[in-house]
Amino acid sequence: QVQLQQWGAGLLRPSETLSLTCAVYGASFSAYSWSWIRQPPGKGLEWIGEVNHRGSTDYNPSLKSRVTISEDTSKNQFSLKLSSVTAADTAVYYCVRVSGFLEWLEYYYYLDVWGKGTTVTVSS
C-alpha cells in the first residue's frame, strides 16, 4: 500500500521560507510524478507544482517565482520550498502522487494518493 508521509514547520513568520518534505513508501518513486497542493482555510484546492520522473518541474504560474520543488531519489523523498511567505500562504499543504494512463495516444493524469496534510500558519 502506497503511503505518503509529510512533515515540516507549521508556524512561520512573514517573509520566512516554508519548507516541507514528503517521503514515499510502497511505490516506485522514479516511476511517477509528485505534486504539492494546498488548501487555505475554508477554501478550495490549489495546485502548487510538481516534479516528474525525469526530475524536471512544473509550477503554478501564480507561485512560480517563489516555489522550488526538488526530489531525492536516494531517499524516495520530494520537497517543497516557498519563499517570502505571507498570511495568504496559510493553508493545509498536501503531497500527492500523480498517476496516468494512455488512451488513444494521449496521456491523462490524476492524483491518486494523498498525504494527510500539514497545516502551515503564517503569522507575526
Partner 1 sequence: SSELTQDPAVSVALGQTVRITCQGDSLRSYYANWYRQRPGQAPLLVMYGKNRRPSGIPDRFSGSSSGNTASLTITGAQAEDEADYYCNFRDSSAKIWVFGAGTKLTVL
- Residues lying near partner 1 in the complex (CB under 8 A) are found at 35, 37, 44-47, 50, 58, 60-61, 94, 98, 101, 103, 106-112, 114-117
C-beta closer to partner 1: residue 31 or 110: 110
Q: Which is nearer to partner 1, 106 or 124 (CB)?
A: 106
Question: Residue 13 or residue 101: which is nearer to partner 1 going by CB?
Answer: 101
Supply the minimum distance, in Å, between the C-beta of residue 73 and partner 1.
21
CA distances (Å), origin 41, targets 74, 78, 117, 121: 34, 24, 13, 10
Cell numbers standing for residue 47: 495546485
Contacts of 75 (CB under 8 A, 6+ apart): 23
Which strand (E) or helix (H) includes residue 120? strand 118-122
Shortest Cβ 40–partner 1 spacing (Å):
12
CB of residue 19 to partner 1, shortest distance in Å: 20
Q: Of the two residues 15 and 108, which places its CB atom closer to partner 1 in the complex?
A: 108
Cβ neighbours of 99 (radius 10 Å)? 16
Report the C-alpha gap between 113 and 60 in whole angstroms: 20
Least distance (Å) between residue 110 CB and partner 1:
4
